[in-house]
Chain A
Amino acid sequence: KNEVEQSPQNLTAQEGEFITINCSYSVGISALHWLQQHPGGGIVSLFMLSSGKKKHGRLIATINIQEKHSSLHITASHPRDSAVYICAASGGSQGNLIFGKGTKLSVKP
């Protein structure tokens, strides 16, 4: 079993829909990261959170430390949101991130 599990693996939505991507982890963490990667592109850090909720524009990230679960929400989705979203836990013994396999999001106009 992977230490960081994401669901769904693939997600297709219509423009304007509310989107939720889930992440569960089994390791102890100091922080949970949400990353975005566009096709052929680099990796951008969206959020780093260790408790509660953070919001940036149409993106919202929440974490429940007791349940070891985090969610990334996108409100009023847009085709430019199409990307792979990766959940990663700061919990590696070398200070490294432990990554989920990613969720490929496609938003159709």
Chain B
Amino acid sequence: IAGITQAPTSQILAAGRRMTLRCTQDMRHNAMYWYRQDLGLGLRLIHYSNTAGTTGKGEVPDGYSVSRANTDDFPLTLASAVPSQTSVYFCASSDSRFPYGYTFGSGTRLTVV
């Protein structure tokens, strides 16, 4: 089934630990994004990648890093988790060709304690 797979679905993480959220798409979309969703703040862009081999910073990049070694995978790493990174994380991809459809993963609920 075409779409985006995120893992894990949920995680409780001790502060200071390193964590990688995985995101894989099978639609051959060039662009991929990581967003975090927080109550009252909506969805905010963390990092993005317009094509394999390139990445960029979004609105709230501090404490996060990404890599884009190939078209399909776009992992998000928290080097040293802090409680303020408790959130729901969504990976998304978009087609760079018209009609520029957007697809979201099912999300990862992360709690940093």
Contacts and interface: CB of A to CB of B under 8 A. Distances in A.
Interface stretch (B20-28, B41-49, B63-71, B73-81): B41-49
Interface string B92-113: 1010100111111111000000
A95 B31 contact: yes
B33 A42 contact: no
B102 A45 contact: yes
Interface residues of B, number: 25
Contacts of B56: 94
Interface stretch (A20-28, A60-68, A72-80, A98-106): A98-106
B40 to A, nearest CB: 8
B95 to A, nearest CB: 11
Interface in B7-59: 31, 33, 40-45, 48, 50, 56, 58
Contact of A45 (B44, B103, B105, B107): B103
Nearest to B43: A99
A97 B45 CA distance: 8
B88 to A, nearest CB: 9
Contact of B100 (A31, A41, A43, A86): A31
Interface of B: 31, 33, 40-45, 48, 50, 56, 58, 90, 92, 94, 96, 99-107
